[in-house]
């Protein structure tokens, strides 16, 4: 942790009411992936609410253990779905994180990522421009592709495949003079003023090219443009996840005869944004694929463990959660998903399992 300043529950004041409606019923215990990995009540929604309440009343001051409990939440929102009292636990945790950051209680990995975003526009501190990294020059077009930092600088195959699909479909699309969408910063509690500035920059860059439809291949960036941007800035264009775009297309695909596949719903695309059917509609266009849902799918899908800043700060917990999810795929040869974070985290936890984890866009590009 960085050096602590005085803790003030400024953001948490907004959720005093919500904190008081938790009845401690414990229904959230049956779903919370961080609790399943860590095993302590303090690493589950109910326990986190107790800690938050202690901060609100001043009976608790942030220490290393409290910070750890607040940052081991993947923000998967499965507890929100399960909670009979409708406690908005993810909002509470993110507001608590905002107060912790203001008090100087930010984890070093998160601080580095946020400082990098402030200085280079991406969490990795990469100096290459988007144009250099993606190999395309932005131009005026009705369709804009927001690749996101991970697909631009790390999971480059996802960005390459998405652009290749547009080319094969004959879509005149443009890449963008992007900066980070702000998801990492918002998830870890960085000051909203800086996040809103990124939002403004991105919207201005998109508007300047005359984009009418923005397409995204990252579930985290999509959630930002779909749900978070409209709270702070005007978004004067349609926002589509690539699977929503592809579900509308007449795709002629090569067969994948006899391959047993399943689909993992990214939390930010599914539970947060309600996009469950478009990826399944695209998968259904693949001839010969033997598709079977996992027991926990759509609203009840389990987290991959990679979100909410957990992968960077607590990689062991992230691997543990990912292993559970991979085991839930049973005898499938292929786990399809559509978020570079999920692909990275699940692939990293694969070990000697035979299952392959693929981003849907990469698969579709290969089959076109």
Contact residues toward ligand SF4 (CB under 6 A) are 22-28, 31-34, 44-46, 48-49, 73-79, 82-83, 85, 87, 89-90
Minimal distance, residue 80 CB to ligand SF4, in Å? 7
- DSSP for 124-167, written as a single string: T---S-HHHHHT------SEEEE--HHHHHTSHHHHHHHHHHHH
First to last CA, the chain: 48
Minimal distance, residue 259 CB to ligand SF4, in Å? 31
CB contact burial 112-131 (16+ within 10 A = b; e otherwise): ebbebbeebbbbbebeeebe
Minimal distance, residue 27 CB to ligand SF4, in Å? 4
- The smaller minimum CB distance to ligand SF4, of residues 27 and 237, is found at 27
Helix, strand or coil for residue 334? strand
- HSE-CB at 109 with a 13 A cutoff on CA atoms is 12
Length of the chain in terms of residues written: 368
Distance from C-alpha of 186 to C-alpha of 192, rounded to nearest angstrom: 7
Distance from C-alpha of 241 to C-alpha of 82, rounded to nearest angstrom: 26
Minimal distance, residue 266 CB to ligand SF4, in Å? 13
CA 124-128-133 angle, to 5 degrees, is 95
Minimal distance, residue 16 CB to ligand SF4, in Å? 15
- The smaller minimum CB distance to ligand SF4, of residues 26 and 191, is found at 26
Distance from C-alpha of 88 to C-alpha of 22, rounded to nearest angstrom: 10
Closest listed residue to residue 147, CA positions, set 189, 318, 126: 126
Distance from C-alpha of 259 to C-alpha of 360, rounded to nearest angstrom: 15
Minimal distance, residue 93 CB to ligand SF4, in Å? 6
- The smaller minimum CB distance to ligand SF4, of residues 226 and 272, is found at 272
Minimal distance, residue 32 CB to ligand SF4, in Å? 3
CA 253-254-255 angle, to 5 degrees, is 115
In the chain, the largest separation of any two C-alpha atoms, in whole Å, equals 62
Minimal distance, residue 43 CB to ligand SF4, in Å? 8
Q: What are the residues facing 143 on neighbouring strands?
A: 173, 213
Q: What are the residues facing 109 on neighbouring strands?
A: none
Minimal distance, residue 168 CB to ligand SF4, in Å? 38
Are 216 and 225 within 8 A, CB to CB?
yes
Kindly give, in sequence order, each residue whose CB lies less than 8 Å from that of residue 27, ignoring residues fewer than 6 positions away: 82, 83, 84
**CA 224, chain centre distance (Å):** 9
- The smaller minimum CB distance to ligand SF4, of residues 83 and 188, is found at 83
- The smaller minimum CB distance to ligand SF4, of residues 77 and 100, is found at 77
- The smaller minimum CB distance to ligand SF4, of residues 96 and 246, is found at 96
- The smaller minimum CB distance to ligand SF4, of residues 89 and 326, is found at 89
- The smaller minimum CB distance to ligand SF4, of residues 34 and 152, is found at 34
- The smaller minimum CB distance to ligand SF4, of residues 27 and 124, is found at 27
- The smaller minimum CB distance to ligand SF4, of residues 24 and 128, is found at 24
Minimal distance, residue 29 CB to ligand SF4, in Å? 7
């Amino acid at each position: 942790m960085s050096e602590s300043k005085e803790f003030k529950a400024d953001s948490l004041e907004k959720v005093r009411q919500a904190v008081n409606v938790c009845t401690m019923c414990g229904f959230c215990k049956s779903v919370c992936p961080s609790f399943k990995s860590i095993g302590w009540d303090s690493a589950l929604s109910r326990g986190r609410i107790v800690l938050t309440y202690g901060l609100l009343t001043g009976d608790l001051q942030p220490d290393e253990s409290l910070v750890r409990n607040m940052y081991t939440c993947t923000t998967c929102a499965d507890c929100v779905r399960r909670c009979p009292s409708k406690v908005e636990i993810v909002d509470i945790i993110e507001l608590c994180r905002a107060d912790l950051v203001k008090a100087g209680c930010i984890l070093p990995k998160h601080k580095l990522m946020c400082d990098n975003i402030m200085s280079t526009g991406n969490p990795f501190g990469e100096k290459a421009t988007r144009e250099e990294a993606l190999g395309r020059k932005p131009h005026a077009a009705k369709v804009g592709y927001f690749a996101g930092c991970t697909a631009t600088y790390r999971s480059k195959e996802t960005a390459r495949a998405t652009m290749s699909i547009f080319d094969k479909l004959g879509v005149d699309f443009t890449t963008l003079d992007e900066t980070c969408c702000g998801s990492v910063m918002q998830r870890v509690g960085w000051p909203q003023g800086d996040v809103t500035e990124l939002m403004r920059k991105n919207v201005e860059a998109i508007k300047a090219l005359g984009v009418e439809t923005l397409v995204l291949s990252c579930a985290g960036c999509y959630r930002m443009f779909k749900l978070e941007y409209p709270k702070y800035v005007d978004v004067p264009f349609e926002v589509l996840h690539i699977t929503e775009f592809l579900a509308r297309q007449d795709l002629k695909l090569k067969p994948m005869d006899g391959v047993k596949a399943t689909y993992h719903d990214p939390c930010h695309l599914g539970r947060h944004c309600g996009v469950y059917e478009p990826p399944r509609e695209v998968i259904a266009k693949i001839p010969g694929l033997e598709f079977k849902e996992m027991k926990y799918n759509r609203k009840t899908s389990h987290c991959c463990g990679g979100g909410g800043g957990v992968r960077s700060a607590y990689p062991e917990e992230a691997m543990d959660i990912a292993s559970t999810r991979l085991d839930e795929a049973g005898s499938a040869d292929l786990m399809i998903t559509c978020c570079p974070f999920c692909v990275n985290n699940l692939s990293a936890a694969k070990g000697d399992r035979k299952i392959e984890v693929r981003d849907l866009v990469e698969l579709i590009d290969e089959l076109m």
